[in-house]
Structure 1
Amino acid sequence: MFAQVPPLIRRNTALFALTQSFTGAGMQFAYGFGPLMVMELTGSASLAGLSVGLIGVSRFLVAYPAGKITDTYGRKPGIQLGLVLALIGTLTLFTAMRQQNVWIFIVGLLIFGMGMNAAQQLRIAAADMYPPKFRAQALGFVALGSLVGLIIGPIMIRISEAIAPHLGQDPLGLPWLMLPVLILAGMGLATLVRPDPKEIGMNLQKYYPDYVPAHKADGSDADRPKTDFSARELLSNSRMRLAIVSNCAANGNMSIVMVLTSLVLHHHGHSLGAIAFSHMFHSAGMFAFTIPLGRLADRFGRERVMFPGVATTIVGAILLALTSHWWSVTLGTFLVGIGWAAANVAATALIADHAPAEHRGRAIGVNDSFAGATSVFAALVTGPLIDWSGLPATGLTAVLLAAVPFALLTSQRRTAAAQGGT
């Protein structure tokens, strides 16, 4: 792939991957230890899903506005704004744990979540710089940068567990004081990207002389008159609806599993370090295979990777629902991670193919807003479901949530068959 990519774009892609490397540890903390932070601050397991729900709320609130900003002013300003918000959020979360104040925690996690989700315009920036035949692989390459965060996260947690008692700090709070160094490094790397990826995306022929925009009925990368972005028009396309629903299903499944993993392992007496390593495997599933998954999506089609990805999250959720050993729980959460990666890379590439560069931020913002809303629902029902029905019922809820796109696909095929027979 990269032998055919101009050096400037290879350089920009590497910078974005490194930016993702430095900033990825923060989301690992938020997902992996957020439920434990809530339990410490509130003393209630029924509120354990609050942290993942807040991240979903922040994603819902910021995804479309961030897309609007980057469509208007370029991808870099949106990414940098997100990282500034994330920096403020880390310091607020440290303060919350130091003062044992759940309201400061809520504010801090909302700010941090909005910042990190706005910074995910990195994905759109990667999509901008590549023609469709390389686009999913490019998304995978940038996502792969998060693997460095997998190494950094457990190391920081181990250090925190070791030194927090001597410093009089909460071991769940101290890591948030370490993250600003990584975020500042990511901001510096993103500054070096030139020109802005949106400019590249609007002039792909300049960078890929052999590239010819496809003239398709759905408007994918087509030379057409400029029009205002319409979310309704996006959702009227059956392939876009399936992409968005599949991404929502994978995200909702993962939100439930994120909460369950920490609670199950904590319930069975595993240390914070053991929980961190379990989440490391989950995150490895999310990011370690993004390049080959992207290559498969580029070669065989987006749907042929997207739907098997959602199906894999179902298998992972079943393991988590019906087993309790560290290795089986970790295998389940790993499968959910790799299934989410397949669904996310393929769905994002499919939407990016459909939307022209000047609309791409908002198009993917619509997708992310729906995914955020689904994550809020999934995370907030997790705690009460645990109290009312126990862990297995909660895991089976994740299974049912991930089955929705298959029901929609079946319905669409039946409708098409009925119309074809009339």
Structure 2
Amino acid sequence: MSTWPHAPSDTKQVAIPPLVRKNTWLLAITQAASGAGMQLVPTFGAIQVVLLLGNATFAGLATSLLALSRVMTAYFVGRMTDRRGRKAGLYLGLWLALVGALLIGTATLLGSFALFGAGVLVFGSGVGAIQQMRVAAADMYPPSRRAEGLSLVAMGSLFGAGISPLLVWTAERLGLALGVSEIALAWLMVPLLILPSFLLVRSLRPDPKQMALELDRYYPAWALHSTASTSENLEQKDLASIRVAAILTAVVVQGQMVMMMAMTALALKALDCSLSQISFSVALHVMGMFAFSWPIGRLADRLGRKPVIMAGLVVAGLGALLVGLGEGYWVITAGTFLVGLGWSGAFLSANTMLTDVTPPTRRGQAIGVLDLWSNTAGMCLPILGGLIVEGFDLQALGFFGALLVLIPLYNLFQVQEQQPGDYRP
């Protein structure tokens, strides 16, 4: 019988040090600030494109441009954080997001689609760089609590979900009072949320990458139970199989989620819903994505990454059917909530699976590759979704979204997870 070393299955055996808790809170709050601005893309993106171009054929273009910018930068930012630390990537992301938001707001005031497109590309590059928070979270936690660590940082976006409708509500009132576009004002207010995040990132000490290289210093109990990482005990072909399964899962659920989210906003607009109603629906979708992150992370640490991924795919497929088949505000909103919930389980667990089998010195690149391909799907599928809705109807889009989640099943069946985070050939 193999004497495979692994982290303890009982997560209570591994206490989280105060320093790690502090850094996790700093990352979560930063995620909340950037997440509030990110929500404006699904809330206003399709509407802004229709206003600027005059038709709905390319309604998903804003979301696709956002994904394109992340495709162009994800791998390179990942390499940079592997070399210079995770904080360097976060600083870069915050600056780009701040400048991009200002460009989008200005473009809306001027009615310039070219400037709008440039702003979305810059903003998306910043959002992509900020996603290195996932790597930073994985760096600070041992395998037996790694999914929980990622989930705690992801929970920051839940607070962003609450901030965004308030931001839109304030912009609507100011817009009426000043006679200025409320959409433009909402974007121009985003930098007020981003600026404090620079101080939060500065307070991260030490850099999470450095903590990953000295993990036994922070988790002596874990160090006694595990003297080798999972990746060191697997052959290259087995590692490749696990990485493909994790990346393909992330690609499918990210593409499906972005496609359904972009088209849902347009569907609600067709029902004559107000901007506040659309923003609230998007907020519920984001709550589905992040409100249950912590229990999902705990389940992934206790039951395994693979079972949680499977459950997430089922829920995401059901949500897509509800969006496509449902009529009325609340049925569609319930569907987009389930799409977000399914994404949460599958995407978080896939990221954890990938970091499980990747050493700290290459995690930034690995997540960069995952982001590159998942955002490629996020770039292409909203455009395809717009064409499906334009050529057929929302019902066809729902069936298409449900079929997408079947794609990674074959690769997932090849993954042998003996215990959570413990993979064997």
Q: What is the aligned partner in structure 2 of residue 93 from structure 1?
A: 104
What is aligned with 1:339? 342
**Match for 1:401 among 383, 400, 404?**
404
SS in 2 for 1:188: helix
Map 1:287-306 → 2, pairs under 5 A? 287-306=290-309
Whether contact under 8 Å (1:252, 1:398) holds in the other structure is no
Residues 96-120 of structure 1, C-alpha deviation per residue, up to 9 Å, x if partnerless?
1000111111100010011011011
Structure 1 residue 32 displacement after superposition: 2.1
**1:219 maps to what in 2?**
232
CA–CA separation in structure 1 for the residues paired with 2:136 and 2:52: 38
Q: Secondary structure at the match of 1:219?
A: helix
- CA-based RMSD: 1.9
State whether residues 42 and 265 of structure 2, in contact with CA within 8 Å, keep that contact through their aligned partners in structure 1.
Answer: no
* Alpha-carbon distance in structure 2 between the residues aligned to 1:234 and 1:56: 30
In the alignment, which residue of structure 2 is the partner of 1:168?
179
Q: Is the 8 A contact 2:66 2:121 kept in 1?
A: yes
Distance 2:141 2:19 in 1: 12
* Structure 1 residues 221-247: Cα deviation after superposition (integer angstroms, max 9, x where no partner): x9x9xxxxxxxx699621211111111
Please say if residues 230 and 357 of structure 2, whose CA atoms lie closer than 8 Å, have aligned partners that are also in contact.
no
Is residue 54–residue 376 contact of structure 1 (8 Å, CA) maintained in 2? yes
- Following superposition, the deviation at residue 80 of structure 1 comes to 0.6
Q: Is the 8 A contact 1:34 1:51 kept in 2?
A: yes
Q: Which residue is 2:321 aligned to? A: 318
The offset of 1:291, in angstroms, is 0.5
Q: Deviations over 1:186-223 (max 9, x none)?
A: 12111101000000001101111122345366437x9x
For 1:50, the equivalent position in structure 2 comes to: 61
- State the aligned residue count: 402
The one-letter code of the counterpart of 1:403 is: L
Q: Deviations over 1:278-329 (max 9, x none)?
A: 0111000011000100000011111011121111110000000111211111
Residue 8 of structure 2 is matched in structure 1 by none
Structure 2 Cα separation of the partners of residues 20 and 143 of structure 1: 7
Give unmatched runs, 5+ long, in structure 1.
Answer: 225-232, 414-422
Q: Secondary structure at the match of 2:190?
A: helix
Cα distance in 2 for residues equivalent to 1:247 and 1:356: 20
> What percentage of aligned pairs have identical amino acids?
40
What is aligned with 1:384? 387
- Structure 2 residue identity aligned to 1:158: W
CA distance in 2, matches of 1:218, 1:203: 17
Matched, 1:121 2:132: yes
Q: Separation in 2 of the partners of 1:235 and 1:271?
A: 51
For residues 370 and 300 of structure 2, the distance between their equivalents in structure 1, rounded to whole angstroms, comes to 18
Does the 8 Å contact 1:264/1:324 carry over to 2? Answer: no
Following TM superposition, by how much is the alpha carbon of 1:184 offset from its aligned partner in structure 2, in angstroms?
0.6
Which residue does the alignment assign to 1:23?
Answer: 34
Return closer, same or farther for 1:126/1:260 CA change in 2, 3 Å cut-off.
same
Query: Which residue number corresponds to residue 189 of structure 1?
Result: 200
2:312 to 309, 313, 332: 309
Q: Distance in 2 between matches of 1:322 and 1:132?
A: 41
The answer as to whether partners of 1:219 and 1:355 remain within 8 angstroms in 2 is no
Equivalent AA in structure 1 for residue 141 of structure 2: Y
